[in-house]
Each structure stands twice: as structure tokens, then as C-alpha cells.
Amino acid sequence: MKKYSGQSGMLVAVDCIIFGFDGDELKLLLIQRGFEPEKGKWSLMGGFVQPKEGLEKAAARILKQLTGLEDVYMEQLYAFGEPTRDPAERTLSIAWFALVDIHKYEKQLSDDYHPEWVSVKKLPPLIFDHRHMVEMAKKRLQYKAALHPLLFELLPDKFTIPQLINLYQAVYDKKLDKRNFNRKILSAKLLVKQTHKEKANSRRGAFYYKLDKRKYYSNPEAFMSFLPTRNIFS
Amino acid sequence: MKKYSGQSGMLVAVDCIIFGFDGDELKLLLIQRGFEPEKGKWSLMGGFVQPKEGLEKAAARILKQLTGLEDVYMEQLYAFGEPTRDPAERTLSIAWFALVDIHKYEKQLSDDYHPEWVSVKKLPPLIFDHRHMVEMAKKRLQYKAALHPLLFELLPDKFTIPQLINLYQAVYDKKLDKRNFNRKILSAKLLVKQTHKEKANSRRGAFYYKLDKRKYYSNPEAFMSFLPTRNIFS
């Protein structure tokens, strides 16, 4: 089939904003860029989309290459396309954000990229428009986590309510009313109480909980129960 | 500066999903594609991103070219990048959705594209993955309109509550409880009652309202008052 005439292409990259939670702080996985321009500077994980590769595939491939992780929560964030965003050549970037369980993350085999978890509150200068991408990803995370039980992706399989509260506090950078949060989260009936306790952080200990995965995955829309639609359509 | 070696570019297009409301039905502005492949078939409005043009600029330019409209509500929807989505050549498409006041829309000067408003309930077959784009845009519109007073972008400056209800019913394809909706929308204090009535559709008539634009634009986040965050952080 005839190609389009008179049109010129541009490079297309994907960049991944990878969030993790270490029990205390919300963190971002950064690398030191391995090639010019800006070689050695802090950067999001990224790479070029290959000729026969879709965008989702490219993002998953890059995540796998650099972290060893597969099947993690990933969502397209935004396409960044300012003509001068990359000084070397016109490059469009499709940014994705990913939520990973930091404990499942294995140091990648190669040390070429020097990946490091950095607190979102103490980010170093980032190349190009990566800082802008991170800010947008943080906002999207806050927005969505207010409507959906998204943040469980950042936790290990078993977690305590104090850990969960710490996570919400880190994402929103705010102190929460613990009793109120406790009541709300349990009334959502998403959690299954375990029989044993975590005892490292307090004498009384805190029961472990697991996410009810069947409920969680079966109908994500159902969790939008706080939306005004419910009132409008009642 | 040296270019990236060994990387090949691809074409990048923008496609616009343009919603309008005629008082009764939610509509989409479609054109008949003016070039091969799929010449003459129904298509979203789109075009290629130019070498020195950002994505937002490209979307605005195409909207202007094809409809004459400027300064309308526009939001990036998603980047579509399946390698075979365009049979002629690898082309990435950044889809945008736009909300326009159908009454401000002027037929464009040229007749080349045969633009037409088509009911979203009776869409003809569309080229490539455009149907998929439309479905995603409809979902995004429903999602966001439940949280933000977005749909006013589809109305003329002066409108009546019955018109507003018709609009919400069209977007969600559902019957609403009119009294309940009325109460909710007035309690949001976004509307300013006018002194005169619309009398074409009923003997008693219905008062016109205008949007309080200062409130509307000053702090869009403030309208997320139904979100659980409010409870979590209270």
C-alpha cells in the first residue's frame, strides 16, 4: 500500500514513572541515563518504541528489562510532544505510570543503569521534561486513589492497617484521622483479616490483612461508590 | 547535537473526538476522509503532527481548520499505537476529545470534508481504530462528568434546567430523577438564575440559567466535593 507522501516521522519513546512504597515513604525508581545527551544524569526509565511494537508492549518490555518485573499495574499517563523536549532529535514520549510492590523488585542483572529508589519528596534534578511527568503522575495517583482501591498494588500480599494508613499519608502527604480511615476502609469490605499479627512495630501487634482479590478484580467500577452519579441516578 | 543512531521514526497524527449536544442527543462530528487509504469513509477529524508543532497545537489547529472553532474544551484522551492500526504506514495517533457548543459551530468554508453531526447512538462504521477511540472517549466523558461540571461546555450560554437534564440523560443514556437532579445541581451553587424564561417547550416556561464562570474556572478541583478524600481527610 502507498505510503503517505510529504510527511516526516519522529522518534517515539516510552518513559515509565514507577512508584513504590517502603513502608514509610513513596518512592520513585530512577536510573542514570546510559547515553548522550545527558548521559549519567537522573532519568525515568525509558526507551524507544520499536518498529513492530505497540505502546503497551514497549512499556512492559522496558519495565521488564530494567527491573525484572512483569504483570504489574501500569497505566498510560500522557503523551508529551513539545518539539524541543529532547535536544538531540524530535522525540515524542508516551509516559506510563506503574505501581509495584517494592519487595518484589529485584535488582536487575546488569549494573549499567544504576537504578535507585528515591523518595518523591527528595528528587534530584531530572532530564528533559521528566520532572513534569512525575508531577502529573503524582496528581493522577492521588486523583485515582481517592476513587479506586489502587494503592494496594504498592503493598505486599499481607499488610497491616497501620501500614495502609502510612501509605495513604505518604501519597497525599497529609496526616489522616486514623480511626476514621480505619472505619472507612473496613466498611468497603475489600480486606480479609488474617489470624496472625505483625509484632515488630508495637507490643500489642497489628493483625495482618489480605486484599480480597476476587472482589478487587471482578468489578473495579463498583468501587466508585462515592460518586455523585449514585445520587443523580438514584 | 548528534542524533540517536539506529532508531527509526514513525508518523504521528492527532484525532479529535468532538462531542456536541443538540438539545436532545449527544452527537459526534465526523468527516468523510479525503485521502487514501479508506478515502470517502467516515472518520474522526485528524491530521499529521508537523515537525515543529506540539501535540496540543496540532489538535487545536485541526479543530480550527475543520470546524472554525477556537478556545474549546479539549483534553488528551490516549495514545493509540498498535503497529498495524493504519495499513498504509506505521502511524501513532494521539486522540483528543473536545466538547463544543453545537450552536457556535459554523460550517467550515470548504466542503472538502463533508463534516456531519452524527448521533453517538447511530454511528456509521468508522475507519481504523476510531470506533475504539470513540468508546473510550464516551467512558471518559461519563467518568469525568460525574466528578466535574464538565458538561456545561456542551450548552449555550443560557440554558434551562430541563435542557441540562436532557444533556445528562443523553450522556449517561439513562432516565434521571428530575426532582433529585434539580436539587443537587442547584445546591452546587454554580448556576445563576436569569430573570426571563424559555417558553417554546412548555406553557409555564422554564427559567434560563447561566453558569457562574468565575466559580467554574477559579478552582475546578473544588467541585470534587463528593470524593471519599473528603471523608478520609476530615
pLDDT at B179: 86
Of all residues in chain A, what percent carry a pLDDT higher than 70? 90
Backbone φ and ψ for A162, nearest 5 degrees, come out as -55, -35
Residues of B in contact with A233 (CB under 8 A): 172, 174, 176-177
pLDDT tens-digit profile of A189-208? Answer: 889 999 999 988 888 899 99
What pLDDT, on a 0 to 100 scale, did the predictor assign at position A67?
83
CA angle (B133 as vertex; B127, B139 as ends), nearest 5: 145
Instruction: Give chain A's mean pLDDT.
Output: 87
ipTM of the complex: 0.90
Q: How confident is the model at residue A147 (pLDDT cuts 50, 70, 90)?
A: confident
> Which of 124-153 (A) contact B at CB < 8 A?
146-147
Alpha-carbon gap: B223 to the closest alpha carbon of chain A (Å): 11
Per DSSP, what are the bridge partners of residue B210? Answer: B158, B192
Lowest mean pLDDT, pick from A15-19, A104-108, A164-168, B100-104: A104-108
pLDDT for the residue numbered A112: 64
B3: chain A residues, CB-CB within 8 Å = 88-89
Chain A interface, best mutation among B1, B2, B4, by max A CB count within 10 A: B4
Residue A234 has pLDDT above 70, yes or no: no
Check residue B202 and give its pLDDT.
83
pLDDT of A233 higher than 50: no
Helix axes A178-187, A161-172, angle to 10 degrees: 110
So what's the pLDDT on residue A65? 86
Mark yes or no for CB contact B9/A7 under 8 Å: no
Pick from B145, B101, B140, B118: nearest CA to B45: B118
Q: Among all residues of chain A, which has the CA nearest to that of B53?
A: A83
Q: Output the nine-digit C-alpha cell for A221.
A: 467500577
Within 8 A by CB and 6+ apart from B136, the residues are: B77, B78, B95
pLDDT of residue A109: 46
**Banded model confidence at residue A176, pLDDT cuts 50, 70, 90:** confident
Question: What pLDDT shows up at residue B200?
Answer: 84
Q: What type of residue is A132?
A: H
**Rounded mean pLDDT of A66-73?**
87
Which residues in chain B have their CB less than 8 angstroms from residue A10's CB?
Answer: 9-10, 12, 49, 51
pLDDT at B85: 97
**Partners of B91 in beta bridges:** B11
Pairing of strands A191-198, A206-211: antiparallel
Question: What are A6's three cell numbers?
Answer: 510529504
Q: Which of B49, B40, B44, B43 is nearest to B10 (CA)?
A: B49
Q: Chunked in runs of 10, what are the mean pLDDT values of chain B (234 residues)? A: 88 97 94 89 96 96 88 95 96 97 69 82 97 96 83 93 92 86 81 92 90 76 42 32
- pLDDT of res. A188: 75
Residues 61-90 of A with CB under 8 A from B: 76, 78-83, 87-90
Nearest CA to A15 among A52, A68, A59, A53? A59
Find all residues with CB under 8 Å of B215, minimum gap 6, and list them: B189, B190
